Amino acid sequence: MKFWAEEWEKAKKSLSNARLRKLFFTGKKDIIMTRRRSILPIFLPHLGCPNNCVFCNQKTIQSKPLAPTELINLIKNMHYKKNNATIQEVAFYGGTFSNIPDDITLPLLDVIHKNFGRDIPIRISTRPDAIDDRILAKFLDMGVKVVELGVQSFNDDVLKLSNRGHDSSCIELSLNLLRKANLSVGFQIMLGLPGDTVERFIATIEKTIELKPDFVRLSPTLVLKGTPLEKMFNDKKYKPISIKESVQLCAKAKIMLFNACIPIYRMGLLLANETGCGQENIVAGPFHPAFAELVDSYISFQSILQTIKNDKKVNMVSISHNSRDTSIFLGQNRSNIARFLEMGINIQFEKNDQLQRGWFQINNKRYCIFH
């Protein structure tokens, strides 16, 4: 409880930035589609990756390169489905882009440049140990503007137990190289890896805040079929983090990053896209198709609790919220209402679309869920 009280005090200083507040609440989607802007995602699961991390299954993951003709069809289908939205960025997700052979990447880039011009910004994902001056020069020639680093953790024991193949100093070195090249950098962070603890995960978030990446993605660790992690799980050498703990930890991380003005682009995994396999391949772990919503729901619960906790006589509270936020305030299966009832508090939620998303009102006073 002390954490929430302290972090909410810090959050008050961040609320003047309306753009950042909106970004934190709604999240930035991997595919942003309007008539004015869209991002084309191209998934290359495990291509170019030289390592076998314990959470990854090289045999299950489909690592067949995307052919240029397939990319052309993808572009056509995307335009058809999205009313010919103007694509302003192309994103290569998955794999280690900097290690993928040129005979795979260059034909794809040729298709992209022919369809969208050579000035189209490119976003790629890669490993911290796959960055050097030669690769940076290649990135700049390709038109890369954003690099997402698979950081996962800043704890060296966690990195070693996860068989990442590098230590935390490598992450900082690659970050410095990317910044010298004036590239935007995002961190991909996992919680619940082998050897991870609450303290180690929070320390990773604190280190992230110190280094100030442009954005962060958070993903709970899942045990997938055919991975070394599955064997560790079956041998009782690894215990997955629970869905409850992962939601609470991600909620804490989101508040901490919000206070540091570092946006989270997404929480949780899109299985088929990012791991190359579907839900049927999950053996254990905190998977939920609406994981980010669970986190925001928990944050809204804590926010309301912090707002009303000083009123010792309270037993019924009427709260207004934007109708699009109903599931976040009520919680999935009305879980937030149940939490308050267990505390002897009867919450009555009412819809009010004059309120901004992420805001609620009590007794004519408005609060942001990050207040």
- CATH number of the domain bearing residue 69: 3.20.20.70
Query: Are 166 and 305 found together in one domain?
Result: no
Query: Are 238 and 316 found together in one domain?
Result: no
Query: Are 85 and 218 found together in one domain?
Result: yes
Mean pLDDT, rounded, for 207-229: 94
Least confident of 243-252, 260-269, 309-318: 309-318
- In the 8-state DSSP scheme, what is residue 242? P
* C-alpha span between 207 and 200 (Å, rounded): 10
Half-sphere exposure of 61 (CA within 13 A, CB side): 24
Query: Are 180 and 46 found together in one domain?
Result: yes
Region of residue 132 (phi > 0: left; psi between -120 and 50: alpha; otherwise: beta): beta
Mean pLDDT, rounded, for 18-25: 47
pTM of the predicted structure, to 2 decimals: 0.84
Q: Which residue has the tokens 């009010």?
A: 352
pLDDT for res 7: 60
Higher pLDDT, 57 or 363: 363
Least confident of 23-32, 122-131, 304-313: 23-32
pLDDT for res 104: 80
Instruction: For strands 365-368 and 316-321, give the pairing.
Output: unpaired
pLDDT greater than 50 at residue 203: yes
Q: Which two tokens stand for residue 130?
A: 């796959």
Query: Are 139 and 276 found together in one domain?
Result: yes
Least confident of 70-84, 193-207, 312-326: 70-84
**Residue 3 binned pLDDT confidence (cut-offs 50, 70, 90):** low
Mean pLDDT, rounded, for 55-74: 66
* C-alpha span between 228 and 173 (Å, rounded): 28
322 touches 357 (CB < 8 A): yes
* C-alpha span between 120 and 90 (Å, rounded): 7
For a pLDDT cut of 90, what percent of the chain falls above it?
A: 49
Higher pLDDT, 33 or 65: 65
Q: Which two tokens stand for residue 225?
A: 């079929």
- In the 8-state DSSP scheme, what is residue 36? S
pLDDT greater than 80 at residue 237: yes
State the helix-helix crossing angle for 243-259 and 2-11, rounded to 10 degrees: 30
Domain coverage including residue 338: 297-368
Examine residue 71 and state whether it is found in any structural domain, yes or no.
yes
pLDDT for res 363: 85
pLDDT greater than 50 at residue 370: yes
* C-alpha span between 260 and 262 (Å, rounded): 6
pLDDT for res 280: 80
Instruction: For strands 346-351 and 359-362, give the pairing.
Output: unpaired
pLDDT greater than 90 at residue 173: yes
pLDDT for res 29: 38
289 touches 264 (CB < 8 A): no
**Residue 13 binned pLDDT confidence (cut-offs 50, 70, 90):** low
Phi/psi for 218 (5° steps) reads: -115, 135
pLDDT for res 28: 41
Give per-residue pLDDT as tens, 135-160: 999 889 889 999 999 999 999 999 99
Nearest residue to 88 (alpha-carbon basis) of 122, 44, 111: 122
Examine residue 5 and state whether it is found in any structural domain, yes or no.
no
Number of independent structural domains in the chain: 2
Query: Are 309 and 273 found together in one domain?
Result: no
Average pLDDT taken over every residue of the chain: 82
Examine residue 8 and state whether it is found in any structural domain, yes or no.
no
53 touches 162 (CB < 8 A): yes
In order of 90, 117, 123, the CA distances from 184 in angstroms are 14, 21, 9
**Residue 24 binned pLDDT confidence (cut-offs 50, 70, 90):** very low
Nearest residue to 241 (alpha-carbon basis) of 204, 192, 202, 281: 192
Q: Look up the CATH number of the domain holding residue 362.
A: 3.40.1260.20
pLDDT for res 33: 34
Query: Are 159 and 281 found together in one domain?
Result: yes
Query: Are 277 and 304 found together in one domain?
Result: no
pLDDT for res 310: 65
Query: Are 127 and 244 found together in one domain?
Result: yes
Residue 326: how many other CB atoms lie within 10 Å: 12
Q: Which two tokens stand for residue 166?
A: 């590098």
pLDDT for res 26: 41
- In the 8-state DSSP scheme, what is residue 289? T
* C-alpha span between 92 and 90 (Å, rounded): 7
Give per-residue pLDDT as tens, 313-364: 566 789 999 999 999 999 988 999 999 999 888 889 999 999 998 899 998 8
pLDDT for res 85: 57
Within its chain, how far is the Cα of 150 from the centroid?
A: 12
What is the chain's length? 371
Higher pLDDT, 61 or 190: 190
For a pLDDT cut of 70, what percent of the chain falls above it?
A: 79
Give per-residue pLDDT as tens, 92-128: 887 788 888 888 888 888 888 888 888 889 999 899 9
